[in-house]
Structure 1
Amino acid sequence: MNMDSPNITAPLVNRTDFSSVFTHRVLPVLYCLICVAGLVLNLLAAWIFLRVPCCSGLVVYLKNMVVADLLMLVSYPWRVATLLELGSWRLHVVVCRYTAVLFYSSMYVGIMFLGLISLERYVKIVQPSGPRSSALLQKVAVARVLSALTWGLGMLTLLPNSLLTSLPADEESSKDCMRLKTPLGIQWHSASIYLCVGIFWATFLLLGFCYTSIARRVYQSHRRVRKNSCKAHRKSNRSIFSILLVFFICFVPYHVCRVPYTISQTSHVVFSERSRFLLYQVKEGTLFLSALNVCLDPVIYFLMCRTFRESLLRKFSHSVADARRSSVTDGHSVSNM
């Protein structure tokens, strides 16, 4: 049963559906829009990166981010279907056990790669002639090892949520994913959420440190030279700032409300039904901002990777030139008729 506003008089234990006009009508349309846009942008990015050699750690991390975003996009149609209540209740079970886990796994893997990218930029710009350990962070082989460890951490943290969402399901219990989890599954759900939130804030602090250090380095270079020789550093500064902007827009709002929402799901602390309804609405709205990340990551690729940018601009210029030649040819054909 869908409700446009919470039924305050309904018993708390019987309430499993907190949908509203926002979650049932607005969000599905927004998810469809970013699904189409994100698919086009990330397929284009993947097509370009397939032609870009892994010549640096940055390229390795960016390629892995494209994979994470494409996996994240796979879960969007399933989410839209459940928000619109399409199909049978078994569709909700599939989302609880599989596609929701895929969504969160891909999201946190992408967050960790943003942290690795910022660290790589910090080493390259702030400590270009630093200790040997700093030089190792820029090597392709090391970047591949760190990428494998990142995927491994993301999978080991969140995949058990899929295996432990194994209780028998029916039409009523499928509306609430927590009712499909075993007792161990509920404990793992809470632990994995707190771990992932910790990973996010640690990455956020890392981004802040890297951005501050790079900005200071750019300022010092500008004071010493006061010419265009620090132009490359300013570009890198803007690139790191773009990552911070994506974090603020996409991830900070969700992680501010994630912990209280998880407590309302798993703790013995009694929340009023109106509080649970409002927490659910805020969680769904901020989760959409996190999903919007798949459309903003290609902007990061364009700003941070010169090879990607040059390949994209070259492809665009070739397409424009081909279109013009085709137009001229068609015009000559018409004039000769």
Structure 2
Amino acid sequence: MTSLSPLADCGFNEDTINMAISSLYFLLFIPALIINGVAVWVCMQLRSTSTFMVYLKNLLAADLLMTLTIPVKAAKILPSAPLTLKAFACRYSDVIFYLCMYMSIILLGLISLDRFFKIVRPCGRLLGQNLVFGKVLSASIWVVLLATNVIPTMILTNQDPTNKTKEFCMAMKSDAGQGLHGGVVKLNNAIFWVVCVLIFVCYICIARKVFQSYRKSGSSNDEGRHKTKVRVFLVLVVFSVCFIPFHIVRIPHTIQQTNNVKACSQVSISIAQKVTLWLSTVNICLDPLLYFFLCREFREKLMGMLNRRGTPSQITSDNIAILP
């Protein structure tokens, strides 16, 4: 008789692993909800007067929506989770989760490109920083992802939720759905790596521009230079730590899913995929920190709302070139 749990066959306790991952998601949910709630509260007080603010508000919407999917994602992997909850997650919640993840990745790339146009290539601002263009582009990306990814996946995840193996979601997909899944994963990976290269190139150019401006001005403000380095490379660190590990692991994990590989040599890939997926989710707590460091308006408004007695000069004394 074939075992229903390849993890158990290979010496792993599947229930223990799932409970640990589920606990990590639950621990992440409350701080993520609070942080993103505060960020939305602040952004509601800010007008969309630039493409940067348009992208930032769309990123906040994606992060908040992803946050709301976390309880279902955490509960579905518990050993006692009912089939109906697992089926709901596979058909709807998880699909929205990945929509928000890749929307966030794309928007981080657009924010990086926006900063690049503002600081390194001001001549590119005519289109790249046009407010209407930013709104239309953001809305178009949402529509395209919904039309090519979300809606077809929901429609083709239409099989009865009776499979109790670890590949529960794949078993709920029709043959066409499994084919679509492989294509969507490849497309999403392509999107990620294109955005990844874009972000690295943009911020390397921004860093060079800022440091050149310091040299030309003859500034000896070492503290200012240090703050600039931290703020520029914080984006790269957050993006790299949260998203790169998952996308490296996801390629062999998808091959494992579509080919139904169950050898013990592949079990570690499944565990790594779960851990790195959680690590990607941590991004919803880190994005608001980037807003604070990269957006002067966001920082001023937040500090002003937390401390009505603060003065603008106290809040913006560390304003530097990379800030909008």
Query: Same fold by TM-score, threshold 0.5 exceeded?
Result: yes
Greater C-alpha Rg: 1
Report the alpha carbon displacement of residue 145 of structure 1 after superposing the two structures with TM: 1.0
Report the alpha carbon displacement of residue 235 of structure 1 after superposing the two structures with TM: 6.2
Aligned to 1:277: 267
Between the aligned partners of 2:271 and 2:230, the Cα distance in structure 1 is 34
Q: Which residue of 101, 105, 124 corresponds with 1:111?
A: 105
Q: Which residue of 28, 46, 49 corresponds with 1:52?
A: 46
Between the aligned partners of 2:271 and 2:10, the Cα distance in structure 1 is 15
Report the alpha carbon displacement of residue 319 of structure 1 after superposing the two structures with TM: 8.9
Q: Which residue of 245, 248, 269 corresponds with 1:256?
A: 248
Q: 1:31 is aligned with what amino acid?
A: Y
Using the TM superposition, name which of 152-161 and 168-177 deviates more.
168-177
Q: 2:110 is aligned with what amino acid?
A: L
SS at match of 2:109: helix
Aligned to 1:13: none
Aligned residue pairs: how many? 307
Is 1:188 aligned to residue 180 of structure 2? yes
Aligned to 1:203: 195
Is 1:213 aligned to residue 227 of structure 2? no
Runs of 4+ in 1 over 4 A off after TM superposition: 1-5, 228-238
Aligned to 1:329: none
Q: Any conservation in 2 of the 1:125–1:233 contact (CA below 8 Å)?
A: no
Q: Any conservation in 2 of the 1:174–1:180 contact (CA below 8 Å)?
A: no
Aligned to 1:157: 148
Q: Any conservation in 2 of the 1:218–1:234 contact (CA below 8 Å)?
A: no
Q: Which residue of 82, 85, 93 corresponds with 2:79?
A: 85
Superposition RMSD in Å: 2.7
Q: Which runs of 5+ in 2 are unaligned?
A: 311-324
Q: Which runs of 5+ in 1 are unaligned?
A: 10-16, 321-337
When residues 207 and 230 of structure 1 are mapped into structure 2, their CA distance, relative to the original with a 3 A threshold, is: farther
Is 1:135 aligned to residue 126 of structure 2? yes
When residues 69 and 76 of structure 1 are mapped into structure 2, their CA distance, relative to the original with a 3 A threshold, is: same
Between the aligned partners of 2:99 and 2:43, the Cα distance in structure 1 is 22
TM-score, reference length from structure 2: 0.87
Report the alpha carbon displacement of residue 209 of structure 1 after superposing the two structures with TM: 0.8
Between the aligned partners of 1:234 and 1:215, the Cα distance in structure 2 is 12
For residues 175-197 of structure 1, the C-alpha deviation after alignment (integer angstroms, 9 at most, x for no partner) is 61111111111111000000001
Q: Any conservation in 1 of the 2:120–2:205 contact (CA below 8 Å)?
A: yes
TM-score, reference length from structure 1: 0.84
Between the aligned partners of 1:145 and 1:249, the Cα distance in structure 2 is 30
SS at match of 2:61: helix
